[in-house]
Structure 1
């Protein structure tokens, strides 16, 4: 029996879009679908015909799918074009496009001063990433000479030809046009001799533009290179040179030098004495306002001569300097009338007994660990009328001598007593600093900043009583920093008022 729906039409058109719509055909023999019986021959003919009709329907559907896929591809392509249009035009709305060139240059200049590593502007062998953002940014940064004024951290390896190294440095110098230069030159042990020669030749070709320079001169540089010309713009010079160097061969004229930092290489022998007059007198010491000396083993008379030559210095710093005072008559006192700041770090302080500093305001003395020497006490006492800041590090005890010294400093506003953890701060020392009307004269009446470090062998109540007395209307204390151990646990978390910065930390100040 042949079903009545044989040869049914499987396709129709969508009345809205015209695309092909299909319906599932009906089986010509549904009663045989779920059995193992074979339909009669006429039915088999009808089944074969319906299969052909269904296969044709699949072909029609595939054609429609292809057509729809083409439409989807076209729509996706159109979507990407619209998205690209939006992105390109949104960039036009960016505030960065409205930044004036002057402001953009100022931003790049700030980056050049703070960047490090891959973002450093100081290494000529590294192109800063900001130069590769866009053509306009690159044009602005290349037209800002001050961005390229500092050269240091030259990083190359032995595979870099000397000509390439020199080219990299010269390119940086060309970008800086005629602005004053800041140069940090240290001997690179991994460079071969040819590379060092090319680097030094490139840097030393612009001495007329040097303004702030740090040089580490070895025997190699002293043997191969001379600067027999004026350095007219050099204001700051940090120099490491062998103690037997003839520095006049390098610097013939330094008309505007203001700051000099000088010391020999660290490898100088323990018995070597640096002949200070023969070296430092090559420099215009009288015009300096800042002098820093370090790693020098000197004769007392030589050092006094140098300090007296730097009569206009406002700041003097001495670090790791060793004093050699031969037996003989006492040296006369030297007057430094303009000295405001004196910092002596791990150096002998005996020379203080030969100095007078009527304008001194800031004094810093650091180790080696010792007690207050008579020379130090005498020096501070002479400067009491002008001294406003005092830092003593590694004084071995807070004792009667220190308290007596502090009572002679009525104008002191900042006191820093920083010591090792073995130094004990007794209750008597803390109690002596309490401001009470019964104690006259008042100890340190103008003290506004106080830093103490050591082992506090006093109760938290005594410590807080002293601090609160100095934060009261009768006192001027506004900054307190305490460094110690577990004995300060009770002081942590307490307050001295909203107007006082109160910090309590475990460990040391460093």
Structure 2
């Protein structure tokens, strides 16, 4: 075996290497096969020849390894040079980036869309507005000049970082929000956050109370007392208020007695599961009578326990509301109370277990009604709900029923609202059978219950898919139906294909 020497060669592209080896490897002379594949002793001549060839092969290996080392050093240099060129290109492409040519007005519009998100969780270590100020001086200047992107603060135990000074970060954000109205959501968990930390954050929030516009806040009795002197909220239009073991009915007077612009009130309390065995419910609605109820347009009362008389006294003051939502447990009313008329109410959301109150309110122009029947009993729908639908059904155009039974008494309830244009029956608790679907389309006395329905939603377990398809096709062809959402039926893909074959593509089919 013989090896050639290096020849001077230069690469026409990169100039490396200056010396390139040209290696000509001659195959060594092998020992005859009969000695390679046996244990026979070869003659001395073959032994001497084999030793020479092995020594030459070892020399060739050493030479090749040395050459490979030289080539690896050359490759390492080329890699370093290539990386340097890549870095050069990356740096200079940043200089040529089109975003550098955008005016500050357009850049601020982009930043506004970056910051917007549905579930806002305030975290100075991860929120987009805090990241933008760290990119460059130009971006920092634009971000700080946009107070609107700093005006939303939502603090909860899950989102609040533990390794930073929340109060200092909050004060900085309030400073950057300038004079913009604030949206505040404060719900630090009572069990996992120390009272001192809660108070320090609340002090920062209350320092900007003059700019509160939309607020959802959950406080303790001690925190109510701590902020008794803060009594002016001139821009507050939407308030969500949660209490925790509050027993002082005058507490709210000391805090929220000046809310001249309040339009929406979401009042959330705590109930005692055993309150029925007590003398009276645990929370009194007289706590919120200090608010300017007469100017409210929306009122939500959640997780409370009170007598109908207490609610009616509040509704008597909030007589101009447009939207009312009740999620509570009503006590038994020992005394007869006069019904209250809500002349402007157009939307009502109530649970079946609270339907007692429906016997005490009059809503002459009600348009939207939402009923949750999660405590439905085999005895049927309550008489209070039937009576209420009898009075208001002719004016209803939008009806939502949640967890309702697919039974005849539900069809009788729908028959009391002949002018519906939107009907939604969500998560029905009994199978939707053939009789119910026929009753829905044919109605009582051969009258169609959904004659004017434009939008239909029906979710649950269907026991007869063919009847569902017949209902959809018949209504789509001969009726006014324009959109439908169906969930829970089997073979939804087949139904969709058959509808498309008929030229119908208005149904959103989804699994339950």
TM-score bin, normalised by smaller chain: 0.7 to 0.9
Work out whether 1:476 is the aligned partner of 2:480. yes
Normalised to the residue count of structure 1, the TM-score between the two structures is 0.76
- Superposition RMSD in Å: 4.0
CA distance in 2, matches of 1:267, 1:94: 62
Select the residue among 131, 135, 147 that pairs with 1:145. 147
Normalised to the residue count of structure 2, the TM-score between the two structures is 0.75
Contact map agreement 2:368 2:399 (CA 8 A) in 1: yes
Looking at CA atoms only, which structure, 1 or 2, has the larger radius of gyration?
Answer: 1
CA distance in 1, matches of 2:195, 2:218: 16
Contact map agreement 2:406 2:436 (CA 8 A) in 1: no
Partner residue, 2:300: 292
CA shift, 1:211, in A, is: 0.8
Work out whether 1:314 is the aligned partner of 2:322. yes
CA distance in 1, matches of 2:423, 2:6: 99
Task: Encode CA deviations 1:295-319: one digit per residue, 9 max, x unaligned.
Answer: 1111111111212321111111112
SS at 1:363's partner residue?
A: strand
Work out whether 1:228 is the aligned partner of 2:230. yes
Report matched runs for 1:207-222 at 5 Å. Answer: 207-222=209-224
Task: Encode CA deviations 1:181-200: one digit per residue, 9 max, x unaligned.
Answer: 11111244433343233222
Report matched runs for 1:111-510 at 5 Å. Answer: 111-114=114-117, 122-124=122-124, 128-153=130-155, 155-157=160-162, 164-188=165-189, 189-241=191-243, 242-245=246-249, 246-265=251-270, 270=275, 271=278, 273=281, 276-319=284-327, 321-329=328-336, 331-345=337-351, 347-367=353-373, 368-370=375-377, 371-399=380-408, 401-421=409-429, 423-434=430-441, 441-457=447-463, 459-472=464-477, 474-484=478-488, 486=490, 491=495, 493-495=497-499, 497-507=502-512
CA shift, 1:268, in A, is: 7.7
Aligned length, in residue pairs: 449
Contact map agreement 1:435 1:470 (CA 8 A) in 2: no
Partner residue, 1:102: 105
Unmatched tracts of structure 1, length 5 or more? 1-9, 25-33, 37-61
Task: Encode CA deviations 1:468-508: one digit per residue, 9 max, x unaligned.
Answer: 22111x3011222333355979746531654543244443x
**1:404–1:138 CA distance, 2 compared to 1 (3 A):** same
**1:35–1:380 CA distance, 2 compared to 1 (3 A):** closer
CA shift, 1:343, in A, is: 0.7
Contact map agreement 1:409 1:444 (CA 8 A) in 2: no
CA distance in 1, matches of 2:372, 2:142: 48
**1:85–1:351 CA distance, 2 compared to 1 (3 A):** same
Unmatched tracts of structure 2, length 5 or more? 24-45, 49-66
Task: Encode CA deviations 1:96-128: one digit per residue, 9 max, x unaligned.
Answer: 223332232222223323187xxx772246563
